[in-house]
Amino acid sequence: MLLKKEGFPEEDELVICTVTKVQFHSVFANLDEYGKGGMIHISEVSPGRIRNIRDFVKEGKKVVCKVLRINTDRGHIDLSLRRVTEGQKRNKIDELKQEQKAEKILEFVAKDLKIDVKKLFYDITKNISEKYASLYGFFQQVVVDSAAIKDAGVEEKTAEKIVEAVKSRIKEASIKIEGKLKLTSFASNGIDIIKEALKKAEEIGKKSISIKYLGAGSYNIIINAKEYKGAEKLLKEASEKAIEHVMEHNGEGEFTRVET
């Protein structure tokens, strides 16, 4: 990775690590993003009794860890493997892959223009760091709006090459979230009432919302949007609209957020 973060990570931060040494009661690993070493005690490798620590980790293996404690004076970083959920692990690995993809794009542009890729990388990240969380996040904005490349602060020829490379390699961002909607009507025309409730829910988001019947009065409501905050807002408004309509017509409803 071209990006090396300065200083120490924060407590509870998720970090990508490479296992460097496995001992009987502990594991040593390098924090790839920070260039610093950390330790995982055997009790933080996996829940339950561990007979052989090498059944879980080996030298050279990439792992996602949670930062437990930091002693900046001694340079010690305590890590945990077992406190990272599968969802957190997937998200962190996806984040790493996205950044690697963004760096590959810059490598392609630098090679094509015969310029130093490290200088190009640091020049851009220095200019975008306050506005964008990551290089990949910046490129996602470029996909939506080519004018955003101005934030990179690079010369016109380089900017044009970056926009061209980004748009050919990165698709417009799409967020998918789900919820479970349970609707019950006690009215004689209950089926029609529930159909109308679902219709009202779908109208909230037009093409961004899809609803599927699961059985026993339950429905899966799926939101596809460009960003997470907007997706959550749509999901909340759509589910509330459906429940509101059913309750107004002698019925009841319940919504449950589904983690994906």
Query: Is residue 7 included in any domain, yes or no?
Result: no
- Residue-level pLDDT at 205: 81
- Residue-level pLDDT at 192: 96
How sure is the predictor about 224, in pLDDT bands with cuts at 50, 70 and 90?
confident
Instruction: Please identify, among 43, 66, 84, the residue that sits at the C-terminal boundary of a domain.
Output: 84
pLDDT at 97 over 70: yes
Query: Is residue 3 included in any domain, yes or no?
Result: no
Same domain, 149 and 91: yes
Same domain, 36 and 24: yes
Report which of residues 118 and 206 the model is more confident about. Answer: 118
pLDDT at 260 over 70: no
Give the whole-angstrom CA distance, residue 207 versus residue 223: 9
Q: Quick check: 22 and 63 in contact, CB under 8 A?
A: no
Instruction: Please identify, among 66, 84, 102, the residue that sits at the C-terminal boundary of a domain.
Output: 84
pLDDT at 24 over 80: yes
pLDDT at 72 over 80: yes
Which range among 41-50, 67-76, 185-194, 222-231 shows the weakest confidence by mean pLDDT? 222-231
For every residue of the chain, DSSP letters joined together read ------S-PPTT-EEEEEEEEE-SSEEEEEETTTTEEEEEEGGGTSSS--S-GGGT--TT-EEEEEEEEEETTTTEEEEESTT--HHHHHHHHHHHHHHHHHHHHHHHHHHHHT--HHHHHHHHHHHHTTT-SSHHHHHHHHHH-GGGGGGG---HHHHHHHHHHHHHH-PPP-EEEEEEEEEEE-STTHHHHHHHHHHHHHHHHGGGEEEEEEETTEEEEEEEESSHHHHHHHHHHHHHHHHHHHHHTSEEEEEEEE--
Q: What is the largest CA-CA distance in the chain?
A: 74
Instruction: Please identify, among 169, 198, 221, the residue that sits at the C-terminal boundary of a domain.
Output: 169
Query: Is residue 2 included in any domain, yes or no?
Result: no
How sure is the predictor about 71, in pLDDT bands with cuts at 50, 70 and 90?
very high
How sure is the predictor about 1, in pLDDT bands with cuts at 50, 70 and 90?
low
Strand 251-258 with 175-185, pairing = antiparallel
Q: What is the mean pLDDT of residues 125-147?
A: 92
Same domain, 161 and 229: no
The neighbour count for residue 60, using CB atoms within 10 Å, is 8
Query: Is residue 157 included in any domain, yes or no?
Result: yes
Report which of residues 231 and 61 the model is more confident about. Answer: 61
- Residue-level pLDDT at 207: 78
Domain residues for 153?
Answer: 87-169
Q: What is the mean pLDDT of residues 124-128?
A: 94
Q: What is the mean pLDDT of residues 73-79?
A: 95
How sure is the predictor about 2, in pLDDT bands with cuts at 50, 70 and 90?
low
Report which of residues 139 and 230 the model is more confident about. Answer: 139
Give the whole-angstrom CA distance, residue 183 versus residue 221: 12
How sure is the predictor about 231, in pLDDT bands with cuts at 50, 70 and 90?
confident
What is the number of structural domains in the chain?
3
**Residues of the chain above pLDDT 70, percent:** 98
pLDDT digits (tens, 9 = 90+) for 163-181: 999 999 998 767 789 999 9
pLDDT at 117 over 90: yes
Query: Is residue 5 included in any domain, yes or no?
Result: no
Give the whole-angstrom CA distance, residue 172 versus residue 138: 12
Query: Is residue 9 included in any domain, yes or no?
Result: no
To the nearest 10 degrees (0 to 180), the angle between helices 86-113 and 156-169 is: 140
